Each structure stands twice: as C-alpha cells, then as structure tokens.
Amino acid sequence: MQTIEFAGRQVPAIGLGTWYMGEGRAPRSQEVAALRAGLDAGLTVIDTAEMYADGGAEEVVGEALVGRRDDAVLVSKVYPHHASSDGVRRACERSLERLRTDRIDVYLLHWRGTHPLAETVAGFEALVAEGLIGSWGVSNLDAEDLRELAAVPGGDACVTDQVLYNLARRGPEVEVLPAAAAAGMSVMAYSPLEQARLFETRGADVLEEVAARHEATPAQVALAWCIRSGNVLAIPKSASVELVRENAGALRLVLTPEDLADLDRAFPAPPGPVPLEML
C-alpha cells in the first residue's frame, strides 16, 4: 500500500474528500456510509472545511466519526476572512462543535486573504499550544507564497499545502511540489480526478488503455499517477461506497515506466511555471 508521511505520521496516500457533501446532492446517510466505508478500507485522512455547505460537510464528517474518531486523521480549513489571530480561534471552535470532537489534527488556511500570514500563523500556533489542533498547513498557496510563509516567525511549522493537482492540472509539478519537498512538507491534491471530467477529456482513451493493462479502472490509474512521487496525498470525494472502495484499490496499483510515458504524452506537463489554478 502506498503511504505518505503526513503531519508526522504515516498514512495511506489516498484520503477522503468531502467537498459538496452536506448540500443534499446525496442522502446524508449515504455520505456518512461512504466515509465509514473509506475508514474501513484504511483511508484514514478525511478532509473538510467550514466553507463546504456552510459547515454542513463538517456535520456529515462528525456523524461519520461517532465512535471512530481515533480511526481518522481529521483535516479542516478556515476561511481567509476568519484567519486573524482571534478569528481562527472562533472558527476552529465552531468547526469542532460541528465535527463533534475536541481536536482537529491538521487545520488549514483555505486560501490567502487580507490577513497577514504572520497573524494567521500566530493564531494557529496558539491553537496548537492549547491542543485544539495538532498541526497546521495551508491551501492554494503557490511557491512564492510558501517562501513568504517560511520567512514568517513560526512559518516553518507548516506541514502541508493543499492544491489542485491531477493529470489535467500539472502546473504544481513545476514549482509547488519542489518547494514543498524542500520545505519538508507534503502536498495534498484536491480534485485528483478533476471531478470526473478527466474521463471525458482528450487522453481518456489512454487512461482506459493503461487501466486495461492492470485490470484496473481509469480512476484508479489517475489516482495512482497522482500519488506516484511519494509526497502527494490525494483526497478524492465520493458519496458512493462502491467508488470509495474502488479509490482505495489505487493504493496497490504500481504504474510502469511505459504507463507513465503514455500518460505523459496524453497529459503533458507545462514547459514552464504557470499560475496556480483553483476550482
């Protein structure tokens, strides 16, 4: 099973995303069942945010973790406009209530806003000191932002940067992934399947060909590609028990040099730096 060092612990390199959960797109019981199935399959990292469904996704996660809190590594994110030193505390306390827990394992700045990074870091560090969060990180920060963060007092405690990264969005490979590795932090890849749009793009036929070689699915190939470096944690979202189990199967899929070459031709990396993309 492909694992990754994440926030000081070894975890499977595929976790559970929750973007769009809690919005009524699927029955709540189905979303809860999917998360529990992921835990059963060994997918220990659950990623959520106060933004998702205005806290509704955190409530789904909280229900899924009843009696199973210690099975999960829980990640949530704070809005940029809540990221003052006092604001992060209030936001964190609200998230803890929705999540039905006394701690968030990794707490992220969702994207950069108007509050200075130094102020946000100070707020995060105070939460760490009180045991409300285990560690902290960032999301949607580019390489220049990471360098600025590293210069802030306490900024070197950042454990991860969560960015949009998949076969169709390879920009982070140019600067973000190397910057994160140099800083000793992991990268979390959100929308690693491009919200299923990967399977409708030019190159989808190559995904199917590679999958056929391994008796796997295109989604498993795309996830195995995403985590291939050993420093990326992919967090696909699914409200389907069956698809969550399928995603977990990608942890045991090893792509060959031929597979990787074919995927490179179908989904080429950018020749140079590109602005960090967001969904």
Residue 167: strand pairing partners = none
Strand locations in the chain, DSSP E?
3-6, 9-12, 45-47, 73-78, 104-109, 133-139, 160-164, 186-190, 232-235
User: What are the tens digits of pLDDT across the range 146-159?
Assistant: 999 999 999 999 99
Q: How much is the pLDDT for 229?
A: 93
Closest CA to 141 of 150, 153, 128, 130: 150
Q: How much is the pLDDT for 202?
A: 86
Cβ(172)–Cβ(196) below 8 Å: no
Mean of pLDDT values over 30-59:
98
User: What are the tens digits of pLDDT across the range 184-243?
Assistant: 999 999 999 999 999 998 889 999 999 999 999 999 999 999 999 999 999 999 999 999
What is the spatial distance between Cα 99 and Cα 69, in angstroms, rounded to a whole number?
10
Cβ(223)–Cβ(250) below 8 Å: yes
Phi, psi of 160 (to 5 degrees): -160, 160
User: What are the tens digits of pLDDT across the range 69-120?
Assistant: 999 999 999 999 999 999 999 999 999 999 999 999 999 999 999 999 999 9
Phi, psi of 78 (to 5 degrees): -105, 140
User: What are the tens digits of pLDDT across the range 156-189?
Assistant: 999 999 999 999 999 999 999 999 999 999 999 9
Closest CA to 107 of 81, 79, 86: 79
User: What are the tens digits of pLDDT across the range 243-261?
Assistant: 999 999 999 999 999 999 9
Say what the pTM is. 0.96
Closest CA to 103 of 67, 132, 129: 132
Q: Selecting from 3.40.50.11900, 3.90.870.20, 3.60.150.10, 3.20.20.100, what CATH number does the domain 3-266 have?
A: 3.20.20.100
Q: Which residues are catalytic?
A: 52
